[in-house]
Amino acid sequence: MTTPSVLRGLWLPLITPFKDGAVDGASVKRLIRHYLSLPVDGLILAATTGEGMTLEEEEIRRLVDIARDEVARDPTGGARLPLFVGLSGSDTAKGVKALRRTADWPVDGYLITCPYYSRPSQQGLELHFGALAEVTDRPIAIYNIPYRTGVNMANDTLLELARRDTIVGVKDCSADAGQSFDLIRRRPAGFSVMTGEDAFYYTALTLGADGGILASAHVETATFARVRDRLAANDLPAALEAWREIADLTRLLFAEPNPAPVKHWLWREGLIDSPELRLPMTPVTAGLAARIDQEIDRRRRASSRH
């Protein structure tokens, strides 16, 4: 693989707004328009942050259609913004069927999680993703997150899969800095390593990662992008200054299970009409809600002084 992957820069795993138990289409539209005005390089729908495992297939299709329509209408050229959709599961045959069913969906690629709970061998992981890659011409990004799935895809396995044209990168949540750097060092041209560890975004970029897929970047999006841009320009002092502005934010927004804190923040900012989640996810506690509210107010005051 020698062509650059589309998977670069700052991507958002978009939350899914709910209202009275249903997907809130009006809030989805508002969110899409908001992020089209910001330096975001791609969106992923119905992934973990988007509570994808609680969504029916027709709800995911509705999200995709709304997002594609809003992107196409964007007067600033956002029609070029890629849209990926999240897929997960532990049955290869069902994954193949899902890719075939979504073949006519207006998406640009997929973020596919390693099989969870069953804990397959490295050979099983390679055969699983190999089978998925055979049935689509669209780009696939592998989501390696062993603390959720129970299995860690080894770099040798990833690098073997990277030989396939349709497997274009990885969302790396291995939580092992040595493994991540080894992958960055050894990966072929055109294969993207995107960190999914929000708190290690700055570090991952300094090690050579191509960007991040970050739930926290729903908030202070431009500052997250500035970290990336300043590092790309070799302006380390400015990059570090930007990172200092948001480093604590990543911890606050993961103080309780994602995406509850992010949804509370977006609701307080008026970007979604409700912070509602679907069980088993629950809203933030009163204590964390108060901390988030205080941080929003603090940032508003700081912004008004500038």
- Which domains, ranges and CATH numbers included, belong to the chain? 9-235 (3.20.20.70)
| Tens-digit pLDDT string for the chain (306 aa) | 344 578 999 999 999 999 999 999 999 999 999 999 999 999 999 999 999 999 999 999 999 999 999 999 988 755 679 999 999 999 999 999 999 999 999 999 999 999 999 999 999 999 999 999 999 999 999 999 999 999 999 999 999 999 999 999 999 999 999 999 999 999 999 999 999 999 999 999 999 999 999 999 999 999 999 999 999 999 999 999 999 999 999 999 999 999 999 999 999 999 999 999 999 999 999 999 999 999 999 999 888 776
Give the CA-trace dihedral at 237, 171, 9, 60, to 10 degrees.
Answer: -140
* CA–CA distance, 265 with 229 (Å, rounded to integer): 25
Give the count of beta carbons closer than 10 Å to the beta carbon of residue 157: 20
3-class state of residue 266 by DSSP? helix
Q: Which residues are catalytic?
A: 143, 171
pTM exceeds 0.85, yes or no: yes
